[in-house]
Amino acid sequence: MTPPRRVLMVSPHFPPDSSAASHRVRLLAPYLGDYGWEPTIVTVRPDDYEARPDAGLLATVPESLDVVRVCAWSSGWTRRVGFGDLGIRAFPALLRKCRELLRQQHYHCLFVTIFPSYPALLGPMLKRDPGVPFVLDYQDPWVGAWGLTAGPSAGGVPDLKSRVSRWIATRLEPMAVRAADAITAVSEATYRDVQERNAVATSRPCAEIPLGGERGDFERLRESPRENAFFDRQDGAFHLSYVGTLLPKGFETVRAFLSAVAVLKERNGDVYRRLRVHFLGTSNQSVGEPRPRVFPEAERVGVDDVVDEIPIRIDYLDALTVLTHSSAILLMGSSERHYTASKLYPALLARRPLIALYHEESSVVSILRRAAPTPWGRLVSYDDQHPAASRVETIYDELIALVTTPPPDPALLDLDVVHEFSACAMAGRLAEVLDVASSSANAHAQPE
């Protein structure tokens, strides 16, 4: 029997950290063994995360996984000098630990996932000695709308810091891309953009590996149910829930949806009064008191009496509980075509009707049309020529149909499509990339 090959996976965010970036390696690593790869995960110790720890999320990580944790600089003092980015705070320790592990045993591949982005530079640094093949993985664009047309200021506009961050990214990304033996991304559009920015990337193997769905998370929830502290699903109202961060380029979609709710208020008061719209975890923060992002827009259009918002990130299993308890689920993308279907799989596995508002080129659109046709999934798509703001009437039509139509037949939901994008299937895709990267690097190392 051929012994498994080893892959060193670097992911600064990892459970119990509750950040969205924790899920990438959490979902992929447990299944790599099925495809002949043995992962070692290098991450940050729980005390060094700024996010509130999520014990329930940590419980989803198999005890058999080899997880190595390092210390990061304290954000308490780094923020005093202007930065809190975990990728910077942990970079020296990640580099030391990876070098130590590479000296101790042979690894056939190095896998670094970004976000945060700066650890991608571990690739070119670690390839110098001992020359381990390097796979660069994009969860989000390194150089994207942030700092150009999106930022942390009011209304999601850039500020000086975000512009400087983007300028630095344009200088550093080419270094990591040149060193990469392969590139993976959550969507094809994401790695295509990398190729447009970096011509050398066109000569590298590239693969689309979405963030897969995990049925086991819902099985765990059924075994140990959680209380829903956010609304009473027995109160007779129609509870429509959006769970997750509001994207920097997603404000236009939010405004279009709320405008449709305002039309509903004007035209059909009875249906409007039944509706309750919950926005939960809309910030990327799990501590402190982040400011609301959606509620001010709801107030502006006069629908704040049926809309509520909890900006702070909620624990993962609490989020799944909300999805399963909702009358229906609201999914929203952004004006960027690269936006992927990461929120779609948990929504489908929750087996609740949904309404989805996405750019026509998002992977959500094609998958949703296959997995959950109307009336199970009500899709409103838009594009660059016909933006979300032009689709208010269509959103209104689908919204009123969603609230007034009896729950659809579960047989209409095709979960076999979800299985195609399960965490196990996505691990198989990654294993193929690791095979290619390690084989290519070995071939290049052979004498001519």
Say if residues 322 and 278 touch (Cβ distance below 8 Å). yes
Residue 32 DSSP SS3: helix
Convert 279-294 into a string of H (helix), E (strand) and C (coil): EECCCCCCCCCCCCCC
Confidence class of residue 402 from pLDDT cuts 50, 70 and 90? very high
Integer CA distances (angstroms), 105 to 2, 6, 171, 434, in order: 17, 9, 33, 18
Closest by CA position to 6, among listed 114, 127, 102: 102
What span, in angstroms and rounded, lies between the C-alpha atoms of 133 and 144?
26
- Domains of the chain, each with CATH number or no CATH: 5-212+422-443 (3.40.50.2000), 215-419 (3.40.50.2000)
pLDDT surpasses 90 at 213: no
pLDDT for the residue numbered 130: 66
Per-residue pLDDT, 448: 34
Highest mean pLDDT among 76-80, 84-88, 304-308: 304-308
Q: Mean pLDDT score of the chain, rounded to an integer?
A: 89
78 contact partners, CB below 8 Å, separation of at least 6? 84, 88, 89
Q: Under the phi-then-psi rule, with left for phi > 0, alpha for psi from -120 to 50, and beta for the rest, what region is 236?
A: left
What are 403's two structure tokens?
């609230």
3-class DSSP state for residue 31? helix
Predicted pLDDT at 338? 56
pLDDT band at 20 (very low <50, low <70, confident <90, very high): confident
